[in-house]
Structure 1
Amino acid sequence: MSKLSLFFSLLFFIKAVSQEKKETYLFSENIATNLENDKTLPRYQIAATNFSISGYYKLALETWDKQYDNDISKKRTVTTEDSIYFKSFKPVNAKEYIINRSKKEQLILINEAHNNSRHRVFTTSLLKDLYNNGYRFLGLEALWNNLNGKEFPVIESGFYTTESQFGNLIKEAIDIGFIVFEYETTLQINDGGKTRETEQAKNIAKLIKENPNSKFLIHCGYEHIVEGTPGIKTWEKAMAGRLAEITGINPFTIDQTYYSEKGTQTLNSPYIGMANQDYPTIMVNDNNETFSVPNNDLKKIDCAIIHPVTKYKNNRPDWLTLSNERKILKINPSKIKEYPALVMAYRINEYEKDGIPADLIELHNNTKETNLIVKKGLYKIIVKNKDYKITTEFVQNIK
């Protein structure tokens, strides 16, 4: 099964579930059962995405890797020549590099893997400084419906956007002052994705033309940031390449997917260990050239972020704290009436309007730390039992 066929199968799944009224956030056992019963080709992608949306970061990565079972036992290596080349670059703080370079750019494209919430957290970390550098528009591939002046995203805003960190990205952008817009095509033409790439680019280009003095940040998936030749040949050109062609603007393209950790350690790129940093890095040489993705002479992506392997505290990824901008929200065990339990924190007045939880966690017993990670503010805490019935709800203030 080709990546393209898997992509269209997953796209069909997304459109199908979007038409159903069902629970959005699931217990891990239910997702695992659905995977076991699913015989479709994209089942691992579907399950990985569901794990991601429901807050199971590591399970999302591990499940995605199961598509490559034959490769899992093979440790990733680099050639001596590639190692020497890599060592000619030095690690710099990825956020600092992007913010500094953004001052002379008008259009930034940064990608994500749709099952990896870490990528959304990193984009969130850029927003305040990019706004200070003149960026006013944030385009999201995953957004289905115009927010139309809404103060926060809702369940119907998209599929991937129902994931907490994606919801936080959108909420943060709105609060800062960004105009958040969707640019996905509404045309359904089965031509291998060529029309989709073209229409996405046209939709973004239209807004750029209407706001010629504004700066734009585009957050998209995978190879849509390719300025040259994408891996999916039926595209001919990816969205980024077509956007550059239409607007005449050379975009600053940033990849987050090639050198992110996998669920299975043996699948991790050796470059993660070779960079050997505890923060996201971009490799830069003495000529101010950046290290990028494989076959970059064809893809023409400006740079690649090397994310370090996640460290966990109380079973939560360390990067969720957003460099300590977010706080620990501890739930009193007396609030949990039965186990297992799903505990979700909604910004005040958002739950009643189908908002996205700021964070959620599954609890199996009262021995596990009930730590949610959120920004300061007032939250409505919703606790559901295994039948998805609300057993407790209360308000808690995080100072």
Structure 2
Amino acid sequence: MIRRAAVVVLMMLSTAATAQDGPSKADFAVASAAGDRLDTGRYLDAAEALRPLAFDAAGKPKAGFVHDQWAELYTLMTAEPVDPEPSPAEDAEAKAMAERVAGATLRDAISEIVARAAKTRVVILNENHGLPRDRAFALEVARALQPLGYSVLAAETFMVGDKGVAMSKLAKQGYPIQRTGYYTHDPVFGDFARQSLALGYRPLSYEQTGEERGQPRGRAESIARREEAQANHLAQALAADPKAKFFVYVGFSHVTEQPIDDGDDGKSQWMATRLKAKTGIDPLTIDQTNLGPLMDDSNGLARRALAARNVTRSVVLFDGDHPMTVGQYAGAVDLQVYHPVTRWVKGRPDWLAAMNRRAMAIPAGFLPKKGERLVQAFIAGESDDAIPVDQVLVRAGEDAPSLMVPGDKPLRLVMRDPAPAKP
């Protein structure tokens, strides 16, 4: 049986991190140690476990796998990325993309998704794993799909292992705990799951098992095995409940329903492509990543062109009557979403308010006199290993951000300081 810490490391690897050389044994070891801390709710300690390999002696970030994971962990405590967007590429391809999106017609994303979701029984939405903002939009989509009869939430992150027991427990308790999945450690993802369950969604895990993973020979075979396993599990669930409608939430390329370039002069068939072939169902596929921040430098000019249009809601792009898709997934997804530029209100991103949150000042007794502290808000009555509904980093001598919490539920607040440094 594979240790869960090793599984966590594998789940932490984004598509971009699966280069042939890959992370070193030391990288995997420190990531596993961070995963162990994260599983006990020690977010600050998990990030600190990564710091020695994420930064050099002068405190400068060391580009690579470990720093990416450090930044992702810190994002769980801030709700917004800690790293700046990369400087835009200005080559001919980037300029052409910017010119296209500048001339696109913009339509309300939720309205367009609802209209198209009514014509299928499978909607697949992806995320950038480093952007909690994508998960807040996923909750908007879940709310909008529920009146259409969508009742199954299949999430890539939901734990494998004994699937039936894990998912039945999640459905019964109505909220995620520290071992529900890796990405559900994020309070935004956790509350997306919590609110979706309250709407009546049934959770479904469909990730490959350790046995299905096996010992692949290289990146291409690893991808193929995982995508085939995921598609098989979803196809079986769809066949077992032929009237149910599925909302499938994935990361990055799993959303593509056509083969896409794999970077090695070939093409990869990702999960949605395989699921479509196995079931004959044409899913509605929606990409949030190619027009989002932190993808790479290729979309920077396009994002600037869209930001200049001052959109105030999430939109999808059209060229006349046809959806416009650009970047790596052009022609391989049905819709691409662009979210408005984040604005800060009382030290927190404005999009949190759309999750039925209100601002709550942190009590004075919870503010640190030195260093930094994580202040967490939990829903009262949930177990000690529940995912917090919100959390913020507070630093001594700086203005404290607000907690963003539900206005209709009793809460309990917890403060967590970093573990003392070893002598």
Name the TM-score, length of structure 2 as normaliser.
Answer: 0.79
Compute the RMSD of aligned alpha carbons. Answer: 3.2
Q: How do 1:227-376 and structure 2 match up within 5 A?
A: 227-232=257-262, 236-262=268-294, 269-275=300-306, 276=309, 277-287=311-321, 289-294=322-327, 296=329, 300-322=332-354, 325-336=356-367, 338-339=369-370, 340-352=372-384, 354-365=385-396, 367-376=398-407
Displacement of 1:385 in angstroms is: 2.5
Q: How do 1:173-212 residues align onto structure 2 when only pairs under 5 Å count?
A: 173-186=196-209, 187-189=212-214, 190=216, 191-212=221-242
What secondary structure sits across from 2:320 in the alignment?
A: coil
8 Å CA contact 1:255, 1:303 repeated in 2: yes
86 and 342 in structure 1: CA distance in 2 versus 1, 3 angstrom threshold: closer
Residue 40 of structure 1 and its aligned partner are, at CA, apart by 9.3
8 A contact 1:201–1:240 mirrored in 2: yes
1:35 pairs with 2:54: yes
Number of aligned residues: 376
Answer yes or no: is the 8 Å Cα contact 1:110–1:218 preserved in 2: yes
Residue matched to 1:46: 69
* Cα distance in structure 1, aligned partners of 2:70 and 2:351: 23
What does residue 167 of structure 2 align with? 147
Give the superposition deviation at 1:314: 2.3
CA contact (8 A) 2:256 2:332 kept: yes
Q: What one-letter code is carried by the residue in structure 2 that aligns with 1:250?
A: D
Work out whether 1:5 is the aligned partner of 2:24: no
Distance 2:106 2:271 in 1: 29
The aligned counterpart of 1:213 is: 243
- AA matched with 1:307: H
Asked whether the equivalents of residues 88 and 299 of structure 2 are also in contact (C-alpha less than 8 Å), the reply is no
Deviation at 1:88, TM superposition (A): 4.8
Structure 1 position 270, deviation (Å):
2.5
| Higher alpha-carbon deviation: 247-256 or 368-377 | 368-377
Matches within 5 A, 1:164-179: 164-179=187-202
Aligned match of 2:9 = none
Distance (whole Å) between structure 1 residues aligned to residue 222 and residue 267 of structure 2: 6
Instruction: Report the identity percentage.
Output: 21
The aligned residue for residue 26 of structure 1 is: 44
**Cα distance, 1:3 vs structure 2:** 4.4
| Mean Cα deviation higher: 132-141 or 101-110 | 101-110
Q: Is the 8 A contact 2:81 2:131 kept in 1?
A: no
Q: Give the stretch that moved more between structures: 364-373 or 169-178.
A: 364-373
Is the 8 Å Cα contact of residues 28 and 51 (structure 1) preserved in structure 2?
no
Of the candidates 136, 143, 147, which is equivalent to residue 128 of structure 1? 143
**Cα separation, 1, equivalents of 2:393 and 2:96:** 46
Q: Quick one: distance in 2 between partners of 1:238 and 1:7?
A: 22
- For residue 167 of structure 1, give the secondary structure of its aligned residue in structure 2: helix
* 1:111 counterpart SS class: strand
State the Cα deviation string for residues 155-178 of structure 1 (Å, max 9, x = none): 011111101111011101111100
What displacement does 1:194 show? 0.7
Structure-2 residue corresponding to 1:395: none
* Structure 1, gaps ≥5 residues long: 66-70, 389-399
Find the aligned partners of 1:8 and 1:183 in 2 and give their Cα distance.
25
Give CA deviations for 1:197-251 in whole Å, capped at 9, x if unaligned: 0000010111100111111111100000111113336873100000001100011
Q: Which stretch of structure 1 is more off in the superposition, 213-222 or 88-97? A: 88-97
Query: How many Å separate the matches in 2 of 1:246 and 1:116?
Result: 31
- Alpha-carbon contact 1:260-1:306 (below 8 Å) kept: yes
SS at match of 2:55: helix
Distance 1:180 1:73, change over 3 A: closer
